[in-house]
Amino acid sequence: MTIGEEIYVLGNWFILHFTENEGMAFGMRFGGDFGKLILSLFRIIAIVIIGWYLIRLTKRNEKTGLILSMSLIFAGALGNIIDSAFYGIIFSASKFHEVAVLFPTEGGYSNFLYGKVVDMLYFPVIRGNYPTWFPFRGGNEFIFFRPVFNIADSAITVGVFILIFFQKRFFKK
């Protein structure tokens, strides 16, 4: 697929939309090249801490739901850092109407930890227009759930929601 290319999977509400994300989950950004490095280092530190915590949880035979939610967060963070760390090294830059080349002879488009993360899941569940009387946005298109994301982002989000929803069961002490 090329940048911006779409495959409609289930009508207009589930679309595979190829895009590259320079920053955090759901397309958020964090301060240019320096911010990208800080974000990558934060992800690595988070992976180490969450991995250590998971080992501790399993040794203490904690609740399965807590281990599952932390595992989802760990796996999502690991997936995003692997993508960010290596995608720019092994692929040429993606361009509109041109497929990126795997292992280009001139090298990838980026250095270690500075690559982009591929996002592809798009669920524009509700589409419409803001009413004309609506301040600043009147008449403009409205799409509920506009972000394009990936499976790693989903794993992190589901893991966090499980932690929040079941926190009283997981952390009784």
User: Looking at the domain assignment, is residue 92 inside a domain?
Assistant: yes
Residue at 168: amino acid letter:
K
- Coil vs helix vs strand at 121: strand
Domain extent at residue 122: 16-22+32-170
Give catalytic status of residue 83 as yes or no: no
pLDDT attached to residue 133: 92
Q: What is the structure's pLDDT at 24?
A: 67
Does 27 fall in a domain? no
Q: Note the pTM of the prediction, 2 decimals.
A: 0.85
pLDDT digits (tens, 9 = 90+) for 6-38: 999 998 889 999 998 876 665 666 777 788 888
- Check 19, 115, 119, 150 and give the catalytic one: 119
Q: What is d(CA 21, CA 68) in angstroms, rounded to the nearest whole number?
A: 27
Per the structure, the count of domains in the chain is 1
- Does 158 fall in a domain? yes
Q: Return the structure tokens found at 40.
A: 């990558």
Instruction: Flag residues of the chain having pLDDT under 50.
Output: none
Give residue 28's pLDDT.
66
- pLDDT for 172 equals 80
Instruction: Give me the pLDDT at residue 27, please.
Output: 62
The position carrying tokens 């399993």 is 58
pLDDT of residue 161: 97
32, two tokens? 């240019």
What pLDDT does 151 receive?
Answer: 94
Q: Which of 153, 156, 162, 163 is catalytic?
A: 153
pLDDT of residue 105: 92
> Is 128 contained in some domain?
yes
Is residue 119 among the annotated active site residues? yes
| Contact (Cβ atoms closer than 8 angstroms) between residue 44 and residue 80 | no
Amino acid at 34: F
Give the HSE-up count for residue 3: Cα atoms under 13 Å, Cβ half-sphere: 13
pLDDT of residue 32: 73
